[in-house]
Amino acid sequence: MIKQTKFEESPITVLTEDIILNILHRLPLKSLGKCKVVSKSWHSLISNPEFAKFHLQLCTDPPLTIALQYYNTFSRLENSSDITNNGAELIPLEYQFPATFFKTHFCFLIGSCDGLVCIYFKMKSVMVTKQVFKDMMFLWNPMTNERKEITLPKEPGHTYVKFKLCWFGSVPSIDDYKIVLVYIAYNYPSERRFVVYSFKDRTWRQMHDTLGDELIFGPSINLVFKNEALHCLVSHETICKFDLVRETFEVFPLSIPGFSQGSHSKMLGVLGEDRSLYVMFSQSPVNWLWEVWLQKEHNKWDSWRRLYNTSMELSEEFVLYCSKFLGFTYGGILCVQLMNELWLIDPTLDPPLYAVVKNPSYAKVFEVFDYVESLISPVSVLPQVNQSKVR
């Protein structure tokens, strides 16, 4: 056996940087954490913001499902794609936020994109805390547990944030991230602001458009992102669209047969690998008859086709205690809130199969969202400038 001398190079040292990068780009995220300690050069390569972007582009794993629960808890939904065997469970995520944040503030989700989660901390009532605190907003990467605070625009007096009409995400065609916030005054509903932050322009902007009133005060419970625009179900027959590139509003008719007749609850969302827009509505709180319509061609508002038409006569408990539909996971499983429980329903089966999620914290789930793990740093996407100014 021939011994290697101390001067002889090992096979790994003769690899070019391009070959090493090509290998590292294809490794799982957990393996990259171990690779960081191999050498200073590898640590530098993996820590580069461009490496994180390229690694995310090569990722083929489907998004995870994250649940936001009461008591300021974020949990990962495990085994949500297949509920036929052992069902699913909620596993709480670790935070890098001080415990004092949650004693003085309520936690709300603004959005999730590229492995980053935008969280808004709304101060609790002064009567409850006996102190005055400010609202705060952070970008947080649950994978790396790194966070960065975002300076908020100055609020117009005593206001609250309409969280279901707020949003954070990327706008790829202009290589930008944007945040949308809707502020409404407690005592004066006419005092409202629809503000947008562009990371590229490094400033908050207030939107002035008559259609913005419809968006802010519509009965929809959420904004939906599709093709670089936000969509909101304004009424039974109307969808409002906010173009994130041009920052303009448009209104389109919603042509679904029988949609306005006897609807008990309504929801707008995206579904499937191509993230097609869907509209879901239930027609009776007694037996929860519900339908899901999918848009066949984006921006063709008369191209809806019925995907499901299902009776949810699952159990007496479901009929009595179903609070609301939370939406679909990336894999097409419907999430439903029942009192303090989360139910998962597979609507593709007849009758629909359901499972009650194991929840160790027993905290009610009131929102679910897609999340893709990444190494992207909140610091790398957030400019280091004064962001409080509103134009």
Place of tokens 């009131």: 366
What three-state secondary structure class fits 271? strand
Give me the pLDDT at residue 24, please: 79
Q: Is residue 281 part of a domain?
A: no
Asked if the structure places residue 75 within a domain, the reply is no
279 within some domain: no
| Residue 61 to residue 27: CA distance in whole angstroms | 12
Residue with tokens 């809806």: 304
pTM: 0.83
- What pLDDT sits at residue 324? 76
What is the model's pLDDT at position 214? Answer: 59
Q: Is residue 118 part of a domain?
A: no
pLDDT-flagged residues of the chain (< 50): 1-2, 4-9, 127-129, 385-388
> Is the residue at 30 inside a domain?
yes
DSSP-derived 3-state class of residue 345: strand
pLDDT for the residue numbered 317? 61
User: Which tens digits make up the pLDDT trace of 114-140?
Assistant: 999 999 988 876 544 455 568 889 999
DSSP codes of every residue in 188-257 = -TT-EEEEEEETTTTEEEE---HHHHHHHHSS-S--EEETTEEEEEEETTEEEEEETTTTEEEEEE---T
d(CA 311, CA 274): 26
What is the rounded distance in angstroms from the CA atom of residue 235 to the CA atom of residue 254? 9
pLDDT of residue 139: 93
CB 206 within 8 A of CB 218: no
**pLDDT for position 239:** 85
27: domain range? 11-47
pLDDT at 85: 63
Q: How far apart (Å, rounded) are the C-alpha atoms in residues 323 and 66? A: 19
Is 32 part of any domain? yes
Instruction: Write down the pLDDT at residue 385.
Output: 47
- The residues near 358 (Cβ < 8 Å, ≥ 6 apart) are 87, 88, 89, 90
pLDDT at residue 307, as a whole number? 84
Helical ranges in the chain per DSSP H: 17-24, 29-35, 40-47, 49-58, 99-104, 126-129, 210-217, 316-321, 378-381
- Does the residue 17 lie in any domain? yes
Contact residues for 288 (Cβ-Cβ < 8 A; gap 6+): 282, 311, 312, 313, 318, 319, 322
Beta bridge partners of 161: 183
Question: Is 332 contained in some domain?
Answer: no
Number of structural domains (the chain) is 1
**Structure token digits, residue 42:** 């590898």
